[in-house]
Structure 1
Amino acid sequence: MVEEEDPAVPGRWRTPLPDVGVAEIRAAGGVVWRPTPDDGVQVCLVHRPWYGDWTLPKGKLEPGEHALLAAVREVAEEADAQAVPQVRLPSVRYRSEGLDKTVDYWSMRAVGTGGFQPGTEVDDVRWLGVDDAMRLVSYPHDNQVLAAFAALPRATATMLLVRHGHAGRRLDWSGPDTGRPLDPRGWSQAHALAPLIALVRPTRLFSASPRRCVQTLDPAAAQLDLPIEISGDLDEPRAGQQADECTLAVAAALTAWAANSESVAACSQGKVIPGALERLVGQSGDYATGKGGGWLLAFTGDRLLAADRL
């Protein structure tokens, strides 16, 4: 959706909510997994007494909520599992309450569990091997999502790669371009990115050199109490520098962080993000990234496993 200025707060930008005339239920959830001592994995299922079913944890989006935020929130609320999203899985669509319903799923690594209390929505949680979970779930579409998860290599690193927020027009800025700051719309985008960045639980924040890139990570840095590290490897080409050289540097930096199993959020620039992703994916595609937008990246070792556009 195209952003619009919030009429209630001039200078603040927002993504408009869908037309209320569109009758669709939006929900999100996850295949939450944890390792077992024998190098296998267990996944989480929840039992809903109202429906009498076993299913993947999921729930409806709150008004204006990003689906990825909703997925992690619902997993925490239903299964009492704190999880890091990794790879986008197939969405499922079906009729519910007389309306079309779409549920978006991500694979998620559990980083904390415990303290579950049975309630009216969920009264039991089970951690099972994937095959056992596929036999227990009540719906074929849950089996399809679990099958897609089972086909994935295990993700070893997750990171967020974002483009800086809106910073006005270069022609309207009289100083050096590296000093051009975020405008009000850009600050709104930076604050919207902060909770998404927090989902991957980064231990390090990296920014390209320009001021607008650093500022885009400022709200996340304040929320996470992390310093912002400047990395010239994330910069756009300087005068006389080849674009391919810069896209290679971005791809190499991301690969190095992934190889060390580091959880990272990085802010780069629009001229290098598409080329870097194309190198990592290994094929051409649409990797154009709008200002204030970004990608959820999952790696297995130093190989990119998936790139999910935010």
Structure 2
Amino acid sequence: MAAVTTIRAAGGVVHRRTAGRTEVCLVHRPRYDDWSLPKGKLEPGEHPLVAAVREVAEETGLRAVPQLRLPGVRYRRDGRPKVVDYWSMRAAGGARFRPHAEVDDLRWLPVAQAARLLSYRHDRDVLRAFAALPAVSCELTAVRHASAYRRGTWTGPDDARPVDPGGWRQAAAVAPLLALAGPVRLLSAPARRCVQTLDPLAGLLDLPIEVDSDLGEPRPGQDAQERALATAGRLVELAAEGRPVAVCSQGKVLPRALDLLVATAGTGPGRDGPERNGRVGPRPRRDSPHETAKGTGWLLAFAGDRLVGADRLTPVRRGDGHPLG
């Protein structure tokens, strides 16, 4: 008996602020005569987040920036299990909506009105989860540098150690994920392998790469916690500017910095790093939930100076259509 394959789909709760209120986008599908959240099936080997942004654009004509992951939905369609991943998305422009075969109408509605119009309970559940989220003020993306030549085989300075052939493939694979947030600046730790990891993204967006020492690993004799505080503070500073930025950092600092931002959420970290009552926040555990494999990253959502969401950005493995990890 042949195995039943799961249908994979992705979409978003696309929102905008109009006249001081939040409105969300719903679409009408003539095939089903229903009102739903924009979504669609993944293409073979496609990352769910890439599919979500693509499907929103195809169904609505909107360019949308993903912010926070929402609860997924599972149900059966034509006897097959179906899984839909959702993200909250900020409407960032795009072409005027034109009715087409899949979607013949689009409406922007306040959340309460949208919930009444939606045809399915599972869509209303997703919308309810969106309504409970804090308002995101800035999206950042952060990536750990890709695989580099081993220190034992490199005779020059460690900061000059380059990305290896596998690392170049990793950098090329993660670049489209980082680009989804629409970064307007690219910042890298000083190490050559960090700068090179952002090269494919720089090519996609036609942006220069800026070197930022606050994103680098501790030098000999420097305290690792202090370096993590500097990186966390730098991320907060960038978020406060309110413009999307992509950064590349290193394995000894990025997970610690994210741990600190999560641990001190809501305490108002400043430029010198997250602190509580003048003291450094709790030290991250060794088994950090933010451990980051080389060539993978994070979509970071901030509400003011608070990190309110960290969603892993892991490229899809060739052949199986699912993210690594």
**TM-score (normalizing by structure 2):** 0.87
Partner of residue 267, structure 1: 248
Specify the code of the residue in structure 2 equivalent to 1:201.
Answer: G
Partner of residue 293, structure 2: 290
Note the C-alpha offset of 1:97. Answer: 2.4
Partner of residue 180 from structure 1, selected from 161, 177, 187: 161
Partner of residue 307 from structure 2, selected from 290, 304, 309: 304
Partner of residue 217, structure 1: 198
Partner of residue 31, structure 1: 13
1:122-271 correspondence to structure 2 within 5 Å: 122-271=103-252
**Mean CA deviation greater in 246-255 or 164-173:** 164-173
Partner of residue 118 from structure 1, selected from 85, 89, 99: 99
Specify the code of the residue in structure 2 equivalent to 1:52.
Answer: D
Whether the 8 Å contact between 2:194 and 2:248 is mirrored in structure 1 is yes
Show structure 1 runs of 5+ residues with no match: 1-19
CA displacement 1:219-277 (0-9 Å, x = unmatched): 11111111101011011111001110111011000000111112100000011111111
Whether the 8 Å contact between 2:4 and 2:80 is mirrored in structure 1 is no
CA displacement 1:200-225 (0-9 Å, x = unmatched): 11111000011110000011111111
Aligned equivalents of 1:137 and 1:125: distance in 2? 12
Partner of residue 99, structure 1: 80
Note the C-alpha offset of 1:125. Answer: 0.6
Aligned equivalents of 2:4 and 2:310: distance in 1? 29
Partner of residue 68, structure 1: 49
Aligned equivalents of 2:94 and 2:160: distance in 1? 44
Partner of residue 109, structure 1: 90
CA displacement 1:267-307 (0-9 Å, x = unmatched): 00011111111111117651100000110000011111111
Whether the 8 Å contact between 2:56 and 2:63 is mirrored in structure 1 is yes
Aligned equivalents of 1:115 and 1:33: distance in 2? 16
Aligned equivalents of 2:5 and 2:136: distance in 1? 36
Specify the code of the residue in structure 2 equivalent to 1:206.
Answer: L
Specify the code of the residue in structure 1 equivalent to 2:166.
Answer: R
Identity of aligned pairs, percent? 62
User: Runs of at least 4 residues of structure 1 off by over 4 A?
Assistant: none
Note the C-alpha offset of 1:114. Answer: 3.8
Aligned equivalents of 1:173 and 1:149: distance in 2? 49
**Mean CA deviation greater in 115-124 or 69-78:** 115-124
Whether the 8 Å contact between 2:27 and 2:37 is mirrored in structure 1 is yes
User: Which secondary structure state, in structure 1, belongs to the residue aligned with residue 127 of structure 2?
Assistant: helix
Aligned equivalents of 1:139 and 1:159: distance in 2? 33
Aligned equivalents of 1:282 and 1:140: distance in 2? 35
Aligned equivalents of 2:44 and 2:228: distance in 1? 37
**Mean CA deviation greater in 247-256 or 167-176:** 167-176
Partner of residue 4, structure 1: none
Specify the code of the residue in structure 2 equivalent to 1:112.
Answer: G
CA displacement 1:20-73 (0-9 Å, x = unmatched): 957111111000001012x21110001111111100000111111111111100
CA displacement 1:170-221 (0-9 Å, x = unmatched): 2121211111111111111111122112111111100001111000001111
Aligned equivalents of 2:299 and 2:69: distance in 1? 9
Aligned equivalents of 2:230 and 2:293: distance in 1? 21
Cα RMSD of the aligned pairs, angstroms, is 1.3
**TM-score (normalizing by structure 1):** 0.91
